[in-house]
Amino acid sequence: MSGRVLVVGSVNVDLVVQGERLPQPGETVMGGTFSRFHGGKGGNQAVAAARLGVPVMIVAALGDDEFGNDARTALAREGIGTDVLVRLERTATGVALILVDAKAENMIAVAPGANAGLTAAHVRQALIRLAPHPGDVVMVTHEIPTDAAREALRIGRAGGATTVLNPAPAGGLDRSILSLADVLTPNRGELARLVADDAARSGYTPPPADDPIKTARALLDVIAEGAGPHSALLVTLGPTGAVLVRRGKPPIDIKAPKVKAIDATGAGDSLNGAFAAALASGLDLEAAARRAVVAASLSVMRAGAREGMPSKADLETKLIALGIMLPPPPPPADPDVVAEGSTPEPGPEVR
Ligand code: RIB
C-alpha cells in the first residue's frame, strides 16, 4: 500500500505566449501563439504525482473567480483530493504570465493573488484533517507565504511523514525552515541563493556558486542541527539531470535522457511530484530521484506545465527502455493452451 502525497503550495492559471525568442526589456516581439494552461508549482506537483498512481491531496488557496473554479475542476479531474482547498472571498486566483522561446526556455512573472493569502492557520486546519503519518510525503513549495510553508513542514514532520521542500523561489528561507525538510530540491540558482543568504546572515564566505556539490554540502552542514537523520539535497540541473547529495555519502550524479524539448515550464514540478510519488510508494532516495529525472525529461516534450507529465505506464515504459526498471515477468503459461509444435504434457486421466 502506497503512502499519500500531501502537496502544500500554489495554484495558478498560466497565460502563455510561445514565440521564436524572448524579448529584451522594453522590446516587443511579434509572432507568438497564445494558450491558457493550468499551473502553479503546487498544482503542477500534485498532478505529476497523481498521474503516477499515488493518492494525492492538495492544500492551496484559490480566488472566488472563474479561474479558481476551473483550477479546482482541473485538479479534481486528475483524481486529486480537493476537499481542503481554501477559497478566498473577493480575491483573484494566482496568474502566471509566461513567455516560451523556440529553445523551450521561459520567463515567468507571477501575480500570486490568493496564493499570498494562504496562512499558517489555513495550512494547520487542512493538515489536521489530512493527518500526515509515516509513509506519507508532505511536498511543499515556496510560492506561498513562508509561515504557511513552515507550518506544513512542521506538521508533516511531527506526524512522521517525509518532508520535501522545493525552495522555489529561494528568497526569505532560513535555517529554521530549511531544517524542517528531509529533502530540499533546489535548482542551481536557488541553491546558490540559499547558501549566499545563509552566509550573509551568519558571516562566512560561501563556496563558489559554480560547484553545486560543494554548495549543497555547505547547505547540508549548516542545517545539520535540527534536520532529520536522512537529510539530503536533490539539486536539479535542467536538461542534464540532477545530483543527489547526502551527508557522509558520495554524491550521485543522475543523467537525464536526451529528448526534444518544446517547453521546459513545469519540468522542476514534474521532477518534484514524481520524486514525492516514488518516495510515497516506498522507493529509496536514489531510486526515487532516478525516476523523477526521467519523468521531468518526458514532461518537456509538450507545451504547458502539465500537458507532458507522464502517466505511470508511460514513465515505466521509458524506465524499462532506459534499463532503470526491469520489464514485468511474462504471465504464467496457461496449462490449457498448447503451444504449436510442442508435445502436450499428459493431463490427469479421466476415467
Ligand atoms: O514551475 C512552473 C510554474 O511556475 C508555472 O505553472 C507557473 O504558474 C509558476 O508558478
- Residue 229 pLDDT: 63
Backbone Cα Rg of the chain: 22
269 is catalytic: yes
Among protein residues, the one with the nearest Cα to ligand 1's atom 2 is 266
Q: How far apart are CA 261 and CA 297, in angstroms?
A: 8
Query: Does 328 map to a domain?
Result: no
The H or E element containing residue 261 is: none
Within 13 Å, how many C-alpha atoms sit on residue 34's CB side? 3
Q: How far apart are CA 240 and CA 219, in angstroms?
A: 22
Query: Does 231 map to a domain?
Result: yes
Ligand 1 site-directed mutation target among 44, 302, 309, most atoms within 8 Å of CB: 44
Q: Is 201 exposed, middle or buried (0-12, 13-18, 19+ CB in 10 A)?
A: exposed
Report the domain count for the chain: 1
What are the grid coordinates assigned to 328, written together?
514485468
Strand pairing class (94-100; 106-111): antiparallel
> Angle formed by the axes of helices 146-158 and 120-130, to 10°?
30
Query: Does 332 map to a domain?
Result: no
- Residue 226 pLDDT: 64
Report the b/e string of 335-347 with b at 16+ CB within 10 A: eeeeeeeeeeeee
Residues 316, 134, 145, 174: is their CA dihedral positive or negative?
Answer: negative
- Residue 133 pLDDT: 98
Query: Does 330 map to a domain?
Result: no
What are the grid coordinates assigned to 165, written together?
521542500
Among protein residues, the one with the nearest Cα to ligand 1's atom 9 is 40
DSSP secondary structure code for residue 333 in this structure? P
Ligand 1 site-directed mutation target among 269, 300, 302, 307, most atoms within 8 Å of CB: 269
pTM of the model: 0.92
pLDDT mean by block of 10 residues, the chain; 351 residues: 94 96 94 95 98 98 97 98 98 97 92 98 98 98 98 98 97 94 96 95 88 93 73 95 94 96 95 98 97 98 95 97 92 70 45 35
Place of cell 522545493: 166
Helix (H, G, I), strand (E, B) or coil at 44: helix
Query: Does 280 map to a domain?
Result: yes
Report CA dihedral (190, 194, 196, 200) to the nearest 10 degrees.
150
CATH number at residue 264: 3.40.1190.20
Q: How far apart are CA 209 and CA 196, in angstroms?
A: 9
Query: Does 292 map to a domain?
Result: yes
Query: Does 211 map to a domain?
Result: yes
Specify the ligand 1 atom closest to the Cα of 168: 1
Residues in the chain: 351
Question: Helix H segments across the chain?
Answer: 41-50, 66-77, 120-130, 146-158, 175-178, 188-202, 212-222, 267-280, 285-299, 312-321
Q: Is the distance from CB of 258 to CB of 31 less than 8 angstroms?
A: no
Q: How remote is the CA of residue 327 from the centroid of ligand 1, in Å?
A: 34
Q: How far apart are CA 194 and CA 48, in angstroms?
A: 26
Give residue 312's domain range. Answer: 5-19+33-321
Q: Phi/psi of residue 179, each to 5°?
A: -75, -5
* Interacting residues of 318 by C-beta distance below 8 A, sequence separation 6+: 257, 294, 298, 310
Query: Does 345 map to a domain?
Result: no
What are the grid coordinates assigned to 211, written together?
560547484
Specify the ligand 1 atom closest to the Cα of 12: 8
What are the grid coordinates assigned to 44, written together?
503542477
SS3 content of the chain, % helix, strand, coil (to 5): 35, 20, 45
Find the residues whose C-beta lies inside 6 A of ligand 1: 10, 12, 14, 39-41, 44, 96, 108, 110, 143, 265-266, 268-269, 305
Neighbours of 219 (CB within 10 A): 26
